[in-house]
């Protein structure tokens, strides 16, 4: 009997199967943060002097080009308009609309100047806040990247793996599976290199933190996907496997591990849940083909 995801948790030792990606320690990165954002703050200060009013300040920022424009927008949000989401501010063309809809809630320019000048220059606090966001999402990319590399190395001759290694559109399964009409987004798809026959549908996720709320969504989403795949396999008489690549310390939180274990049970031999450290043992040609 093959080892199951559940079996990696005996005696609560599952943490050893988790992959860690290094993060920086506080306060080591403060210097780097100041380096990055000092020019942004500097320019914001200049525009602040130049502007006639708060709306005009936004217009002036809109004339700048990226990447600095987006950074100036972030500062604008903080000092002038916490109402306006970054999604809005990212669109240059939306600026007149934003002024129309939110302009009356912008903080008065005089007050903004006063508050801005009350801060030390460069504002280390704000730099640190911004910096904290900078690496969001990166660990998820590292996870898929590591998997793609491993897979190419190990199975590159026999199989091909499709999907974005970093940012980019997911694989929409209906576009690759004959007779499958649901627009299910997957992270990768493994096919026989010669026949192009789909073999494995993959979903990847790195959980640094947070158990709680996300657990349910993810398990449920994954379960729905598994159900779909099983049905598809049965209908078409093909064996299509589902690989759930999950990793990160978040896996050890709450009921996450157990939930994934039961998901594996639910999918029987067609579903495997793995971390990077289980790849050699669990992602085998036998499993792909059986």
Partner DNA sequence: AATGGGTTACGCGTTAAGCT
Partner DNA sequence: AGCTTAACGCGTAACCCATT
**Contact set with DNA (CB under 7 A):** 65-67, 70-71, 74, 77, 85-87, 90-94, 130, 132-134, 136-137, 139-141, 143, 164, 166-170, 185, 187, 204-216, 248, 250, 254-255
- Residue with smaller CB distance to DNA, 176 or 284: 176
- The answer to whether the peptide bond before residue 67 is cis (omega within 30 degrees of 0) is yes
- Compute how many other C-beta atoms are within 10 angstroms of the C-beta atom of residue 68: 14
Least CB distance from residue 74 to DNA, whole Å?
Answer: 5
End-to-end CA distance of the chain: 14
Q: How far apart are alpha carbons 12 and 252 in whole angstroms?
A: 9
**What are the tokens at 200?**
């494995």
- Residue with smaller CB distance to DNA, 103 or 211: 211
- Residue with smaller CB distance to DNA, 18 or 239: 18
What residues contact 55, with CB distance under 8 A and at least 6 apart? 99, 103, 106
Least CB distance from residue 198 to DNA, whole Å?
Answer: 18
Checking DSSP bridges between strand 171-172 and strand 159-162, what pairing results, if any?
A: unpaired
CB 33 within 8 A of CB 5: no
**Total count of residues recorded for the chain:** 290
Least CB distance from residue 24 to DNA, whole Å?
Answer: 11
Least CB distance from residue 185 to DNA, whole Å?
Answer: 5
- Residue with smaller CB distance to DNA, 211 or 239: 211
Least CB distance from residue 87 to DNA, whole Å?
Answer: 6
- Residue with smaller CB distance to DNA, 2 or 182: 182
Report helix, strand or coil for 217: helix
Least CB distance from residue 96 to DNA, whole Å?
Answer: 12
Least CB distance from residue 273 to DNA, whole Å?
Answer: 14
Q: How far is CA 201 from CA 10, 182, 220, 229, in A?
A: 28, 14, 17, 8
Q: How far apart are alpha carbons 55 and 170 in whole angstroms?
A: 38
- Residue with smaller CB distance to DNA, 188 or 232: 188
- Residue with smaller CB distance to DNA, 23 or 227: 23
CB 8 within 8 A of CB 14: yes
Q: In angstroms, how far is CA 245 from the centroid of its own chain?
A: 14
Checking DSSP bridges between strand 185-186 and strand 241-247, what pairing results, if any?
A: unpaired
- Residue with smaller CB distance to DNA, 36 or 109: 36
Least CB distance from residue 2 to DNA, whole Å?
Answer: 26
Give me Rg for the CA atoms of the chain.
Answer: 24
């Amino acid at each position: 009997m093959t080892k199951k995801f559940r079996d990696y948790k005996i005696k609560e030792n599952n943490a050893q199967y988790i992959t860690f990606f290094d993060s920086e320690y506080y306060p080591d990165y403060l210097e780097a943060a100041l380096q990055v954002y000092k020019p942004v703050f500097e320019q914001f200060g200049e525009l602040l002097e130049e502007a006639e009013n708060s709306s005009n300040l936004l217009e002036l920022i809109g004339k700048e080009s990226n990447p600095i424009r987006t950074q100036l927008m972030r500062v604008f949000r903080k000092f002038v308009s916490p109402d306006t989401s970054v999604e809005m501010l990212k669109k240059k063309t939306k600026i007149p609309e934003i002024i129309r809809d939110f302009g009356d809630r912008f903080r008065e320019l005089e007050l903004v100047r006063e508050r801005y000048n009350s801060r030390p220059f460069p504002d280390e606090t704000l730099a640190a806040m911004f910096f904290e966001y900078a690496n969001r999402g990166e660990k998820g990319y590292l996870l898929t990247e590591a998997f793609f590399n491993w897979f190419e190395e190990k199975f590159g001759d026999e199989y091909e793996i499709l999907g974005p290694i970093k940012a980019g559109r997911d694989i929409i399964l209906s576009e690759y599976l004959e007779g499958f009409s649901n627009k299910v987004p997957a992270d990768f798809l493994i096919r026989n290199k010669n026949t192009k026959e789909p073999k494995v549908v993959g979903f990847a996720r790195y959980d640094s933190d947070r158990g709680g709320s996300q657990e349910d969504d993810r398990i449920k989403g994954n379960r729905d996907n598994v159900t779909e795949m099983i049905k598809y396999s049965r209908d078409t008489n093909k064996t299509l496997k589902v690989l759930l690549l999950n990793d990160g310390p978040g896996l050890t939180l709450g009921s996450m591990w157990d939930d994934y274990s039961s998901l594996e049970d639910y999918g029987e031999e067609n579903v495997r849940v793995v971390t990077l450290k289980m790849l050699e043992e669990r992602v085998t040609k036998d499993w792909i083909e059986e």
